[in-house]
């Protein structure tokens, strides 16, 4: 992997490869974001942009009734640097997505007022990898998420309005948790193998005719 990465780097500017190295050191999979049935492109795109800004590499998209679309002007190209996993092959894809995340060692944490919830600032990050689930704009998370969630968190509010816009809520939660994992003794960083895999994908996406370059390199190194 290192050899092909070095080869691809020769087709990119030094500034671009240095930027990749700097950004990837702050990427994490300790936190991941799950969007269930989002239908407004501007909200979905704003969440992707926040994930990139806060260093969260993976986003899991559950498409039940609504197809996930990205508003490029709002996302500002952030989806290009994220690993987006879609669940859309069944009538209801929520259980499949949550089961997959649990098998990867994530605890499912839903963002909704609930009798067993805790305030965001009191959430214990040290207990393990966390998948943050945000529900659809009108009704929030589904009953399946409520059943399957391991924990619930809520953002403190002091006004008349009962809830934040989903993109605002996601941004507030990510800002708090992404900041805290970097201050606490938590193994939040990527492994060296993960860094190589992600950098390889970033180089592929940013270099013209990268598939042909890789194919030629592989033929030369058989």
Identify the CA nearest to 156 among candidates 123, 200, 183, 124: 123
Whether residue 6 is contained in a domain is answered as no
Identify the CA nearest to 70 among candidates 88, 58, 84: 84
Q: Is the pTM of this model over 0.85?
A: yes
Whether residue 46 is contained in a domain is answered as yes
Confidence grade of residue 45 (pLDDT, cut at 50, 70, 90): confident
Percent of the chain with pLDDT over 70: 95
Whether residue 183 is contained in a domain is answered as yes
Whether residue 2 is contained in a domain is answered as no
Task: At 57, give phi and psi (nearest 5°).
Answer: -80, -35
**How many structural domains does the chain have?**
1
- Among the ranges given (90-94, 127-131, 210-214), the one the predictor scored with the smallest mean pLDDT: 90-94
Whether residue 124 is contained in a domain is answered as yes
Q: Is 123 within 8 Å of 153 (Cβ atoms)?
A: yes
Whether residue 210 is contained in a domain is answered as no
Give the model confidence (pLDDT) of 74-126 as tens digits. Answer: 445 678 899 999 999 888 899 999 999 999 999 999 987 777 789 999 999 99
Whether residue 116 is contained in a domain is answered as yes
Whether residue 130 is contained in a domain is answered as yes
Domain containing residue 180: CATH number: 3.40.1280.10
- The residue range of the domain holding 189 is 28-200
Q: What local confidence, expressed as pLDDT, does residue 97 receive? A: 96
Give the model confidence (pLDDT) of 106-116 as tens digits. Answer: 999 998 777 77
């Amino acid at each position: 992997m290192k050899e092909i990465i070095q080869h691809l780097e020769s087709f990119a500017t030094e500034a671009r490869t240095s930027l990749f190295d700097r950004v990837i050191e702050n990427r994490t999979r300790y936190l991941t974001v799950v969007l269930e049935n989002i239908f407004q492109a501007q909200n979905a795109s704003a969440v992707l942009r926040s994930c990139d800004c806060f260093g969260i590499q993976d986003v899991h998209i559950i498409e039940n009734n609504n197809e996930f679309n990205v508003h490029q002007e709002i996302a500002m190209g952030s989806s290009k640097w994220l690993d987006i996993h879609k669940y859309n092959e069944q009538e209801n894809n929520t259980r499949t997505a949550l089961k997959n995340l649990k098998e990867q060692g994530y605890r499912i944490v839903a963002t909704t007022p609930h009798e067993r919830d805790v305030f965001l600032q009191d959430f214990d990050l040290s207990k393990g990898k966390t998948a943050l689930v945000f529900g659809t704009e009108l009704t929030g998370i589904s009953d399946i998420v409520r059943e399957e969630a391991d924990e619930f968190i809520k953002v403190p509010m002091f006004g008349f309005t009962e809830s934040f816009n989903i993109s605002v809520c996601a941004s507030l939660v990510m800002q708090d948790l992404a900041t805290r994992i970097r201050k606490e003794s938590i193994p939040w960083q990527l492994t060296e193998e993960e860094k190589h895999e992600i950098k390889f994908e970033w180089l592929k996406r940013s270099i013209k005719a990268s598939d042909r370059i890789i194919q030629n390199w592989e033929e030369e190194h058989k």
